[in-house]
Amino acid sequence: MFAQTLFVQWKWNRDFLAFYTIVATAGPLLILWIALPQLGLTSARELVTVGRAVGAASAVIAVLAGLTLAWQGYGIDDRGGHIYALSLPVTRARLLAMRAATASLLLVLPAVGVWAGAGFAANQANLPPTLESYSGSLAVRALLASWLAHSCMFALRYGAGRRAKAIGATLAIGGSLFALLALLSPGVRELMSVVGDALISNPGPFGVLFGGWTMIDV
């Protein structure tokens, strides 16, 4: 059953996976080739700047890959009236668990693309002894970020169903109003700062998405 679910997930998402893996591999090289004639890459600071640009691009690719797989899977189910899921001789909870597990396995492919592209780019940059390449840790971070993004979208889509867009809009409006209140009220601003730090700083639930995204550093 797991193998069949994995095959179905691959069949549904192979085009997206190929796209994100290719972009993840080519992205670091493209950024490096664009930066070479502009910066000359003559100093360690410039190399670190390029490494952070690669890290930011890898973060965006990883998050988009996770969101896409979750959205695509539910979209196919919804268009088909969930007939395929209902026809399987398993409970809904087990089916969703296998869907999540197989999607997490497939998201390794873009992370491998990040690792390969960052490794090739770092080798071409001719790093001085004071700098190190972190292509491996960047790939691991990309994998964790894609898993997090997939989990959030998966929970929203399969938990809220067709109300997901309304719930997403409500959250966006609520966040905007909270941000506006933070601008007007120092007390709300302080509360927002505390809550934000708890969410985005390690070991917060979204800490993996913020900070530490770099291909090259000391």
Predicted pLDDT of residue 161: 67
Of the two residues 125 and 18, the one the predictor is more confident about is 18
Q: Which residue has the higher pLDDT, 164 or 51?
A: 51
Contacting residues for 3 by C-beta, under 8 A, at least 6 apart = none
Residues near 64 by beta carbon (within 8 Å), at least 6 away in sequence = 20, 149
Which residues in 37-71 are b (16+ Cβ under 10 Å) and which e?
eeeebeebebbbbbbbbbbebbbebbbbbbbbbbb
Using one digit for the tens of pLDDT, what is the confidence trace for 79-131? 766 666 667 677 878 888 888 999 999 999 999 999 999 998 888 877 778 88
User: How do the domains of the chain map onto residue ranges?
Assistant: 2-163
Token pair for 12: 């549904």
Nearest to 21 by CA among 101, 121, 139: 139
Residue 46 structure tokens? 């410039």
The encoded tokens of residue 81 equal 């009236």
Tell me how far apart the alpha carbons of residues 22 and 131 are, in angstroms, rounded to a whole number: 27
If you average pLDDT over every residue of the chain, what do you get? 83
pLDDT score of 40 more than 60: no
Band (20; pLDDT cuts 50, 70, 90): very high
